[in-house]
Amino acid sequence: MTGGQALVKALYQEGIRVIFGLPGVQLYHALDPLYDEPRIRFITTRHEQATTYMADGFSRAGGGIGTALVVPGP
């Protein structure tokens, strides 16, 4: 099991079903196993700040735990 696979497994066990994220080279280790996990939905975003707002809004709207994965911004 890779570190990315362990991360995805732990996220699922903690109740994460939706992740908002800005893909980048820093997250490749996690994105590959996320692609293979059909029980977690990954929603691609375009900006780091918007990613966190989306996760916050998702949580406040009662959708579950708001989760964001981002890469370093400019």
Question: What CATH number does residue 26 fall under?
Answer: 3.40.50.970
Q: Which domain holds residue 61?
A: 3-69
pTM, full prediction: 0.89
pLDDT at 72: 86
Q: Using one digit for the tens of pLDDT, what is the confidence trace for 37-59?
A: 999 999 999 999 999 999 999 99
Q: What is the pLDDT of residues 5-29, one digit of tens each?
A: 999 999 999 999 999 999 999 999 9
Full DSSP string of 9-63: HHHHHTT--EEEE---GGGHHHHHHHHT-TTSEEEE-S-HHHHHHHHHHHHHTTS
Residue at 74 is within a domain = no
Distance CA 31, CA 74 (A): 21
